[in-house]
Amino acid sequence: MSFKDVLKTQQHNIREYGMYIAFLVIVIFFTITTKGLFVSSRNIGNLVNAMSYIAVLAVGMTLVIVIRHIDLSVGYLAGTLGAIAAISLKYWLLPIGVTIPLVLVLGVLAGLLTAFLVAQMKIPAFVATLAGWLGYRGALQLATRSTGTIIIENEVFNALGNGFIPDIPDIGILPGVHKVTLLLGILGIILFILGEINNRKKTQAYHFEVLPMNMFIAKLVFVSAVIAGITWVLAGYQGLSWAAVILLIVVLLYSYITSRTVIGRHIYAVGGNPEAAELNGISVKKITFLVFGSMGLLTALSGILYASWLRS
């Protein structure tokens, strides 16, 4: 492959990789300005914990945007549900095994309410969720008006946002390094490579265009190096946090649903052309309820992680 062909391919994919390039530039900038502190094990671990609840929201919001809607209420809904979790643990004295399912169910119900307004009542999502934003804001203020800041003392609950996965006993190999995190990182690299090879074979079987072999190998090496680097940095502190584990599970689950299931294809079909999807037998209304219900569930999970991270 000539240099001109490579340049043409890179220009064709610049939109796909633009965000990664921008992210790399930001990381390099802050690494230089902080004299390496930005990429230290402790800081990366803290950043992962701090952004997990936002990333969980982003996963759900992606599907909402795919079907041509928006949800402005998720921030205050997450705060309200986090407050309900704190109140149920501290004042209602409910066990964590009851509190978490309760909050998740409330999140789903809130999402279904939004879906009802959007799909059934035909209210634009912007208007419906803006009303939800105002309502949940008032509910949050009402819930905490008499108590103020609610300190959560349940250590199991707090571990969701601050705890780390356990490690195997120190056997003298790589002292000071979280070995379970390293093993998970290696497993992630292996699964990534096998998945990419499998996808390439399937794409070729349908006679679709694939990346040239040299660029495909370069992609595998680059992504594997990124995974290995992040894994090594996290392993140098306290390992992978429970919040990061929850985030990874959510990302992998939704990635599978959207790319490997009929429901995922229906979601993309509705987003591409709702009228054509309806004519092809896809219930746009059901998909709208499903997506907003999913958004409510992930908002509840985000609220739990946020309250756990703050311990209040």
Average pLDDT of 153-168?
Answer: 92
Question: Each residue of 109-156: pLDDT tens digit?
Answer: 999 999 999 999 999 999 999 999 999 999 998 888 776 788 899 999
Instruction: Classify residue 76: in a domain, yes or no.
Output: yes
Instruction: Classify residue 23: in a domain, yes or no.
Output: yes
Q: What is the pTM of this model?
A: 0.90
Whether the pLDDT of residue 13 is over 70: the answer is no
Instruction: Classify residue 196: in a domain, yes or no.
Output: no
Whether the pLDDT of residue 1 is over 70: the answer is no
pLDDT confidence of residue 3: 53
* Judgement on whether residues 2 and 95 belong to the same structural domain of the protein: no
pLDDT confidence of residue 215: 82
Relative orientation angle of helices 41-66 and 74-90, to the nearest 10 degrees:
120
Q: Indicate the pLDDT class of residue 265, thresholds 50, 70 and 90.
A: very high
pLDDT confidence of residue 267: 97
Whether the pLDDT of residue 9 is over 70: the answer is no
Instruction: Classify residue 183: in a domain, yes or no.
Output: no
Instruction: Classify residue 154: in a domain, yes or no.
Output: yes
* Judgement on whether residues 159 and 26 belong to the same structural domain of the protein: no
Tell me the CA distances in angstroms from 121 to 124, 128, 273, 312, one per residue in order: 9, 10, 20, 37
Neighbouring-strand partners of residue 122: none
* Judgement on whether residues 110 and 88 belong to the same structural domain of the protein: yes
* Judgement on whether residues 156 and 289 belong to the same structural domain of the protein: yes
The residue behind tokens 């969980």 is 56
Instruction: Classify residue 226: in a domain, yes or no.
Output: no
Domain that holds residue 114: 53-163+282-312
pLDDT confidence of residue 170: 73
Mean per-residue pLDDT of the chain: 90
Neighbouring-strand partners of residue 164: 241
* Judgement on whether residues 17 and 102 belong to the same structural domain of the protein: no
Whether the pLDDT of residue 8 is over 70: the answer is no
Structural domains counted in the chain: 2
SS3 content of the chain, % helix, strand, coil (to 5): 75, 0, 20
Question: Each residue of 229-254: pLDDT tens digit?
Answer: 999 999 988 889 999 999 999 999 99
pLDDT confidence of residue 17: 67
Question: Each residue of 19-73: pLDDT tens digit?
Answer: 778 888 998 999 999 988 888 888 888 888 889 999 999 999 999 999 999 999 9
* Judgement on whether residues 84 and 25 belong to the same structural domain of the protein: no
Instruction: Classify residue 231: in a domain, yes or no.
Output: no
Of 5-9, 17-21, 26-30, 275-279, give the lowest mean pLDDT range.
Answer: 5-9
What is the DSSP secondary structure assignment for residue 67, as one 8-state letter? Answer: T
Instruction: Classify residue 170: in a domain, yes or no.
Output: no
What count of other Cβ atoms lies within 10 Å of the Cβ of residue 89?
23
67 contact partners, CB below 8 Å, separation of at least 6: 267, 270, 271, 274, 287, 288, 291
